[in-house]
Chains A and B, each alone.
Chain A
Amino acid sequence: MATKGYGPKESTALRRGTVEGRPLTPKERERMLKSYLPPEPPSSSPSPSRSSTPYQRRHHHKKRRTGIVRHAVHVAIYAIIAAFFSIYFRFRRAYRLVKSKLAAVLFYHHRTPEFIQRDIRKLDRLPKHLSVIVDFHESDEDQGTAGIEGLMNDVCEIAAWTVSAGIPNLSIYERTGKLKNYMPNTHSAISLTLESYFGPRRKPTLSLRAPHLQSYSPPRTPDFSTQDPAEAKHDRQHLNVLLLSAEDGRDTLLDLTKTLSQMSQNGNLHQAQITADLIDAELREAVSEEPDLLILFGPTVVLKGYPPWQLRLTEIFHLPDNKGVNYQVFIRALHNFSRAEMRLGR
């Protein structure tokens, strides 16, 4: 109760609407609330004009002086709070950075799917559709993750972890959509990484897709196990990778609205036919389904234009103060996901 700044009498009065056993009248409630209210707005108070009496003027003067003092105190406290938290945030970030680096050394996946599988063995459930947000860095301040190559590198690693964990669908969001211009390169880069993880015999098959573009899956590399192709095919995992960018969010919804209004103008569409289900079906087909889990590799939760419609019930994971793509975030996100319960409003 102490932290709230009001006594037991007030709290029961406001909660039950009674004071000392009898109902509270609006008048009494107003009186009780008076001390908690902000001061009268300046507009409603009588304006300090020349006609005011000396007493009023002196009173006003005094008020202004206390106002200045109060302002100074506020500025001072603000400076103290800001300084204190600034130090605290820096220490926290340093501490977490050290911790994550230690974890990265101790629990390294050694680019081996079996290690990754061991890390997730105890989990009850896994997402069927995983989504990640990655960044395109222009400058090279983040050790070797700049430019298209750095981005490609991150994407390849994430794809390899995903398929090692046994998740069949991965969608990768990057705001600018740069990767969409390099679909063949991205495809071959991911395949190469998968090969380095799984070896050529067990390498999972891969198809790469982006909304509105044709899916890119070139003719498969000649099978090594030609003697029994049926079995080999059965063995191999498959990974669907979907590339998303900012234009798959608002702009796609806008396009849909445009098309729908064109249809409506031509008289092909009735008002009642526009439902959430219709929009959902259209966007599902055009962009993607709702991902089960969204992993952010940034220090805070900012969605950077991720397609809004698809985010409805997606579990969002981020590691505070983390910077850049790393395996610890990925594995902790999966652990977190298996603990989360879905209630759907109930």
Chain B
Amino acid sequence: MTESIHNSRIRKWLAASPPVTWGVRKLRELLIGALRQGPIPLHVAFVMDGNRRFARDHKIETVEGHNLGFEALARILEVCYKTGVKVVTIYAFSIENFKRSKYEVDALMDMAKLKLGQLSEHGALLDRYGASIRILGQRELVKPDVLDAIDKAVALTAGNKRAILNVCFPYTSRDEITSAVKKTIDVYSKPTGSHPSLSKRPFSETHITQNIRQQMLKTVPEEPSDQSSSSRSASPASSKEQGSADAGHSSATSTLMNRSEKGDAHLAPPSFPDPETMTAETLTNNMLTAGAPPLDLLVRTSGVQRLSDFMLWQCHENTSIVFLDCLWPEFDLWQFLPVLVEWQWQRKKIQEHDRGRGRQKME
């Protein structure tokens, strides 16, 4: 027993000795430089999970666990930006986290304040990394003193264009989606007044597809009168898709709709932008991550296989989601390297597949 303690002490001393740290640093740089040669995700998100469990496992205070988690974050940010990742998004604090003990919440807030304050002392160095900090989330829930520190750091780094660090501070994805919906509605509820409501289309594309589906279900009884009232609209895009199946139907209803539209135009003086011009893009642009490239990679540590209300809108399409078993404070280049390499490998596979498919089509 004493032997092993002795050994581990020697190992610790050796590991901390200057030549070894220097060597490790060079090795890291070499690996990062090597990784740069392949495709690199433009946007990576992290759920920093496992700080508390790490603290529990190592019998240290929870707050200390969070501190170690912050260091892990610094290391991983270094790896990300040096390999060429443009945007890193981290889940620092969920709105749900306010349910935790007041002591822990306060400690986390203090830590955020301290670290952001330290950051603000080094304006010149921040330019070298070229990352600008953005805080995503519900500002109203944060205390004013923390908010001050946040604003200072954000203002100081606002000019940096090379990379972005999104810190989701009191954040949940549902809240984000809700505010995006709200913002969109806000824009569309402002009267334009410039041109009358000629562009107003009372139909919706999705309704038509639904109706076609229902017509295909011959067995489901449907009243004919119901069809003409519930199917509304033929925007150019939809008529292209639905083609002839729809042609007779829409021409039959169009005369009827035109009449009613004329009547409407007299009645409603303020005109609004047409809601039918909204696309998923509109919503995406109103999300908090607007302008960032699509999320390529989402990493969650500590073996929990859930999204926990994080980046739902951003990650549900083509994002590679990776769940790792290691706890966040242990997370480093050595855990991240296999993830990145596997991502690069998959990316190459997908590209090959697409190319093969393209060739098939050509033939």
Residue numbers of A with Cβ under 8 A of B are 1-8, 11, 14-15, 17, 26, 29-30, 33, 35-38, 40-41, 44, 70, 73-75, 77-78, 81-82, 85-86, 89, 180-181, 183-184, 212-214, 216, 218, 247, 249-262, 264-265, 269, 271, 274-276, 279-280, 300-309, 311-317, 336, 340, 344-346
Q: How far is the CB of A188 from chain B (nearest CB, A)?
A: 11
A7→B17 CA distance, assembly (Å)? 7
Chain B residues with CB under 8 A of A17: 118
What residue of chain B has the Cβ atom nearest to residue A247's Cβ?
B206
Q: How far is the CB of A199 from chain B (nearest CB, A)?
A: 27
Contacting A at CB under 8 A, from B70-129, are 71, 75, 78, 81-82, 94-97, 99-100, 118, 121-122, 125, 127-129
B345 touches A89 (CB 8 A): yes
A313 touches B306 (CB 8 A): yes
Closest 7 CB pairs of A and B: A345-B96, A2-B15, A77-B34, A5-B25, A78-B37, A301-B321, A308-B312
Chain A residues with CB under 8 A of B174: 276, 279-280, 309, 312
Main secondary structure of the interface of B (DSSP, over half): helix
A312 touches B309 (CB 8 A): yes
Q: Does B186 contact A (CB under 8 A)?
A: yes
What residue of chain A has the Cβ atom nearest to residue B211's Cβ?
A212
Chain B residues with CB under 8 A of A36: 25, 78
A268→B227 CA distance, assembly (Å)? 26
Chain A residues with CB under 8 A of B228: none
Chain B residues with CB under 8 A of A74: 30, 33-34, 36-37
Q: How far is the CB of B303 from chain A (nearest CB, A)?
A: 9
Chain A residues with CB under 8 A of B78: 36
Q: Which of B122, B210, B304, B312 has the most A CB atoms < 10 Å from its CB?
A: B312
B219 touches A184 (CB 8 A): yes
With A37-B128, A276-B175, A316-B307 as known contacts, state yes or no: A85 contacts B338, CB within 8 Å. yes
A346→B100 CA distance, assembly (Å)? 5
A104→B12 CA distance, assembly (Å)? 47
Chain B residues with CB under 8 A of A313: 306-309
B18 touches A7 (CB 8 A): yes
A257 touches B181 (CB 8 A): yes
Give me 11 other A-B pairs in contact (C-beta within 8 A), A4-B75, A213-B214 excluded. A2-B15, A15-B71, A41-B128, A74-B30, A85-B341, A85-B342, A251-B280, A254-B278, A260-B181, A279-B177, A308-B173
With A41-B128, A78-B37, A262-B275 as known contacts, state yes or no: A344 contacts B96, CB within 8 Å. yes
Chain B residues with CB under 8 A of A37: 125, 128-129
Chain B residues with CB under 8 A of A41: 128, 130, 162
B189 touches A274 (CB 8 A): no
Chain B residues with CB under 8 A of A86: 345
A192→B230 CA distance, assembly (Å)? 35
Q: How far is the CB of A220 from chain B (nearest CB, A)?
A: 15
Chain A residues with CB under 8 A of B31: 77, 81
Contacting A at CB under 8 A, from B9-50, are 12, 14-18, 20-21, 24-25, 27-28, 30-31, 33-38
Q: How far is the CB of B355 from chain A (nearest CB, A)?
A: 16
What residue of chain B has the Cβ atom nearest to residue A187's Cβ?
B219
B204 touches A258 (CB 8 A): yes
What residue of chain A has the Cβ atom nearest to residue B31's Cβ?
A77
CB < 8 Å: which of A35, A180, A254, A344 contacts B99? A344
CB < 8 Å: which of A1, A78, A265 contacts B16? A1
A274 touches B178 (CB 8 A): yes
A1 touches B28 (CB 8 A): no
Q: Digit string of B268-281 for contact with A (CB within 8 Å is 1, else 0)?
A: 00001001101110
Chain B residues with CB under 8 A of A300: 320-321, 346
A345 touches B99 (CB 8 A): yes
Contacting A at CB under 8 A, from B188-212, are 188-189, 204, 206, 209-210
A257 touches B283 (CB 8 A): yes
With A254-B278, A257-B283, A302-B319 as known contacts, state yes or no: A265 contacts B189, CB within 8 Å. yes
Q: Which of A33, A81, A264, A271 has the most B CB atoms < 10 Å from its CB?
A: A81
With A306-B316, A312-B174 as known contacts, state yes or no: A301 contacts B189, CB within 8 Å. no
Q: How far is the CB of A343 from chain B (nearest CB, A)?
A: 9
Contacting A at CB under 8 A, from B312-344, are 312-313, 315-323, 332-334, 338, 341-342, 344
Q: How far is the CB of B157 from chain A (nearest CB, A)?
A: 15
A33 touches B125 (CB 8 A): yes
Chain B residues with CB under 8 A of A314: 306-307
What residue of chain B has the Cβ atom nearest to residue A318's Cβ?
B305
Chain A residues with CB under 8 A of B362: none
Contact sample, A vs B, 13 pairs, CB 8 Å cutoff: A2-B15, A6-B21, A38-B81, A41-B128, A74-B33, A77-B31, A212-B206, A216-B217, A254-B283, A276-B177, A279-B178, A300-B346, A314-B306
Chain B residues with CB under 8 A of A216: 217, 219-220
A78→B210 CA distance, assembly (Å)? 51
B178 touches A3 (CB 8 A): no
Chain A residues with CB under 8 A of B162: 41
CB < 8 Å: which of A29, A250, A257, A301 contacts B320? A301
A184→B217 CA distance, assembly (Å)? 8
A255 touches B206 (CB 8 A): yes
With A75-B37, A249-B316, A254-B280 as known contacts, state yes or no: A5 contacts B28, CB within 8 Å. yes
